[in-house]
């Protein structure tokens, strides 16, 4: 096929896509994603609208078309839910038909070969993997086994922010409990590899970075250079991801042969494999662990970075939280999980950060496996279901002035997110952990990790806006459109700030607690050189 013919074909395809957008069955939820809407969105953003811009667009359309609306792209139907009531009625209560994933040729077929837990279809393998994760991260296990490590890592986070405040974007990106090894500092090789991988993985999965091959499969057979060499970029991500996760598995297998099993997730999986209780191939095992590394490291760190970002803009919040902490805890120790009940405003800061800057504004799309109806409207089998977290969490009816960081929104809310996610839809705090059977299995660990990180940071440190070369204060930019990334995982772009210890005594306390953690907690980890 000549380039001229290919070019003509591509033009005709684009014309077809534009004129086919908006065709809908009269029983579908309302929507008006017409060709004018598409062209305007492209014009406004000089290209395909990306995240978090798509989150903004969906939030605006929800105001016009209501809490449920539909989009049509050729034969594909997408349903966007911007209503806690509908999320509860559909995704939660009918989870048996709303727990599937849409086809993802790029993420599922090319990159992960079907073994990425986030993209995996609702299947026996998915249920096996979820069971393994649940066994390791259920609440009782977190309290019994993981809490000491989480507290120690939070202490090191604060210590690192004191020693190297200029690296505030990097320090939250560490972990300890997947492979029986830990990340002692931000320059550790495996940490650098992971976050380089996460960056290219997020970009290649971003809407608009590949042609809609899941809707129009014939696009797979067009020359990829017409669409930015999308296949080669996806194959490169697959190569890097498989190489890194396989390498980590090899290191743990080697460590087990010399030092035995450790109390980490991969060891437990391999122990079950050795005893014949589990049957997953090597690729599935290392991808399961790698997926948990991605979710546990990137999402948690992004929330911590967003919180520090917010403190540069709203110092009154920081001062109020510090006053609450100081009324309970002196300078001779930092906060622990046992202080949770006495620090409701700090807990509210966690909830407000999750609401204010969701890491996944639209969640990961679900797919409905059977025809369904809601409020007299049809949801066809095979429809993609988007839980519009950004739209719900920025609904001005429930959250007045939603772009303002205000933890007082959660005054009197003492339950953890795990309890609220399974309770009354009118009381749910946010959708940062997903919904239904796809609810984040690490929710119990994440809630405690975030609380301890926030509490210790506020107890030990003052945070303010950065200054320029003339020592003039730089006005913080916290806009979700200009100050946050546009990948399918959203994080703050690098921003300036000042971080200083609140007192010399608090600094010395953190150093003492870090030394104790090194002797009593970190020493338990065999430091596998990855």
Q: Give the residue numbers of the binding site.
A: 440
* 448-465 burial code (b ≥16 CB/10 A, e <16): bbbbbbbbbbbbbbbbbb
Structure tokens at 346: 């700090």
Nearest CA to 81 among 58, 54, 52, 104? 58
How far is it, in rounded angstroms, from Cα 504 to Cα 511? 11
DSSP 477-528: ---TTTSB--SSS--BPP--EEEEES-HHHHHHHHHHHHHHHHHTGGGS---
Q: Do you find a cis peptide bond into 42, omega within 30 degrees of 0?
A: no
Dihedral (CA of 161, 312, 477, 392) sign: positive
Residue 182 DSSP code: -
Can you tell me which residue has the tokens 């009816």?
Answer: 397
Half-sphere exposure of 526 (CA within 13 A, CB side): 18
Cβ atoms of 447 and 418 closer than 8 Å: yes
Binding-site entries for heme: 440
How far is it, in rounded angstroms, from Cα 46 to Cα 119? 29
Main-chain dihedrals φ then ψ at residue 162, nearest 5 degrees? -75, -45
Main-chain dihedrals φ then ψ at residue 244, nearest 5 degrees? -65, -45
Q: What is the CA radius of gyration of the chain?
A: 24
> Residues for the chain: how many in total?
530
Residues 308, 133, 277: CA angle, nearest 5 degrees = 160
Rounded to the nearest 10°, the torsion over CA 137, 140, 142, 146 is -120
Can you tell me which residue has the tokens 């953190």?
Answer: 510
Nearest CA to 346 among 447, 426, 422? 447
366 forms beta bridges with 385
């Amino acid at each position: 096929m000549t380039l001229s013919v290919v070019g003509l074909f591509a033009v005709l395809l684009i014309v077809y896509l534009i004129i086919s957008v908006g065709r809908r069955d009269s029983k579908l939820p309302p929507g008006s994603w017409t060709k004018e809407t598409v062209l305007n969105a492209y014009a406004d953003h000089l290209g395909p609208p990306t995240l978090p811009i798509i989150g903004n667009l969906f939030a605006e359309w929800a105001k016009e078309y209501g809490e449920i609306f539909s989009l049509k792209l050729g034969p594909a139907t997408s349903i966007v839910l911007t209503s806690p009531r509908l999320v509860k009625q559909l995704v939660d209560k009918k989870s048996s038909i709303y727990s599937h994933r849409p086809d993802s040729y790029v993420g599922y077929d090319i990159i992960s070969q079907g073994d990425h837990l986030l993209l995996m279809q609702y299947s026996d393998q998915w249920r096996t993997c979820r069971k393994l994760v649940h066994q390791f991260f259920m609440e009782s296990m977190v309290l019994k086994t993981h809490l000491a490590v989480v507290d120690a890592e939070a202490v090191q986070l604060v210590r690192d922010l004191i020693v190297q405040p200029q690296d505030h974007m990097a320090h939250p990106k560490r972990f300890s409990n997947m492979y029986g090894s830990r990340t002692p500092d931000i320059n550790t090789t495996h940490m650098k590899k992971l976050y380089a991988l996460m960056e290219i993985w997020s970009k290649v999965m971003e809407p608009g970075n590949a042609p809609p091959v899941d809707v129009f499969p014939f696009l797979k057979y067009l020359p990829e250079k017409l669409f930015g060499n999308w296949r080669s970029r996806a194959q490169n991500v697959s190569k890097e991801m498989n190489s890194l996760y396989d390498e980590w598995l090899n290191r743990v297998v080697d460590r087990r042969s010399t030092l035995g099993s450790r109390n980490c997730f991969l060891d437990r999986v391999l122990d079950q494999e050795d005893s014949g209780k589990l049957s997953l191939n090597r690729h599935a095992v290392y991808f399961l662990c790698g997926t948990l590394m991605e979710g546990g490291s990137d999402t948690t760190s992004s929330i911590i970075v967003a919180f520090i970002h917010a403190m540069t803009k709203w110092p009154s919040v920081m001062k109020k939280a510090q006053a609450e902490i100081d009324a309970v805890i002196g300078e001779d120790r930092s906060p622990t999980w046992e202080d949770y009940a006495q620090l409701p405003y700090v807990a509210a800061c966690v909830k407000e950060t999750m609401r204010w800057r969701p890491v996944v504004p639209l969640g990961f799309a679900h797919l409905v496996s059977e025809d369904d109806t809601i409020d007299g409207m049809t949801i066809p089998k095979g429809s993609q279901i988007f839980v519009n977290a950004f739209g719900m969490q920025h609904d001005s009816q429930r959250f007045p002035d939603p772009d303002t960081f205000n933890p007082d929104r959660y005054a009197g809310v003492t339950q953890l997110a795990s309890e609220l996610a399974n309770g009354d839809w009118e009381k749910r705090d946010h959708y940062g952990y997903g919904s239904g059977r796809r609810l984040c299995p690490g929710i119990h660990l994440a809630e405690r990790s975030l609380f301890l990180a926030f509490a210790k940071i506020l107890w030990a440190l003052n945070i303010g806006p950065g200054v320029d070369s003339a020592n003039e204060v730089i006005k913080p930019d916290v806009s979700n459109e200009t100050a946050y990334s546009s990948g399918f995982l959203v994080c703050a772009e690098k921003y300036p700030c000042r971080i200083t210890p609140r007192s010399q005594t608090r600094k010395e306390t953190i150093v003492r607690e870090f030394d104790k953690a090194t002797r009593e907690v970190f020493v338990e980890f065999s430091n596998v050189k990855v």
